[in-house]
Amino acid sequence: MLLTVSGSSCSGKTTTVRACGPVEGLVWHDFDEIGVPGDADVVWRQRSLEGWIRRALGYQAAGLDMLLTGQSPLGEVLACPSAPELNGIAACLLDVDDEVRRQRLAQRDPGRWDAGATEAFIGWAQWQRAHAADPDHRPEVIMNGGWDQMRWARPETWSVSVIDTTGRTVQESAAELRRWIDGQRQPANQDIA
């Protein structure tokens, strides 16, 4: 099974997953650990996501589940060529208030992001919120200029859990994420999205 925890930068993905601690039978990876080239684009993200799904298939063959944190929303995950081979896919959006995201970006990377780049992170977060609720929300955002191997189709079922980290401690967010992880790994919940 592949569990995805997505969200725009500074939503708390890495911090929250680390605070969950080890989970038996679950391997965790961060999308960016493969390295992000300076010219990364939508095609690069989607091709790399396919590589992560293939890695998840390797874990699946070994009897393990994989949790992947990153920027890729459920619509992209489902469109990857190898996604149908997974025993299950579960998606969670980790989110935070836009103003808190601005503050976190400034604290994490002082002076790195100009106002335009910061607003791009905010726009991506706003789009991800709408996409989590409705797969038909502006699909061109992930489809236009994307990898030509993606298999775009509207899913029969759509379920993205949302955890808002605004005003919560890391431990509170981690406890909610851990409940989500444990609930998704129950055999009855292992359907594709």
CATH number at residue 149: 3.40.50.300
Per-residue pLDDT band for 147 (boundaries 50, 70, 90) equals: very high
Does position 193 have pLDDT exceeding 70, yes or no?
no
The mean pLDDT of 144-173, rounded to a whole number, is 93
Range of the domain at 164: 2-189
Does position 188 have pLDDT exceeding 60, yes or no?
no
Q: Which residues on adjacent β-strands are paired with residue 192?
A: 89
User: Residue 156's pLDDT is what?
Assistant: 78
User: Residue 109's pLDDT is what?
Assistant: 77
Per-residue pLDDT band for 186 (boundaries 50, 70, 90) equals: confident
The mean pLDDT of 117-137, rounded to a whole number, is 94
Torsion of the alpha carbons at 137, 138, 144 and 149, rounded to the nearest 10: 10
Report how many domains make up the chain: 1
Does position 192 have pLDDT exceeding 60, yes or no?
no
Backbone angles phi, psi at 147, to 5 degrees: -65, 135
85-122 pLDDT per residue, tens = 999 999 999 999 999 999 898 888 777 778 888 899 99
Per-residue pLDDT band for 191 (boundaries 50, 70, 90) equals: low
User: Residue 187's pLDDT is what?
Assistant: 67
Report the candidate in 157, 163, 159 with the shortest Cα–Cα distance to residue 179. Answer: 163
Q: What percent of the chain has pLDDT over 70?
A: 96
Say how many C-beta atoms besides its own lie within 10 A of residue 191's C-beta: 13
Q: What is the 3 state secondary structure string of 6-63?
A: ECCCCCCHHHHHHHHCCCCCEEEEEHHHHCCCCCCCHHHHHHHHHHHHHHHHHHHHCC
DSSP 8-state assignment for residue 192: B
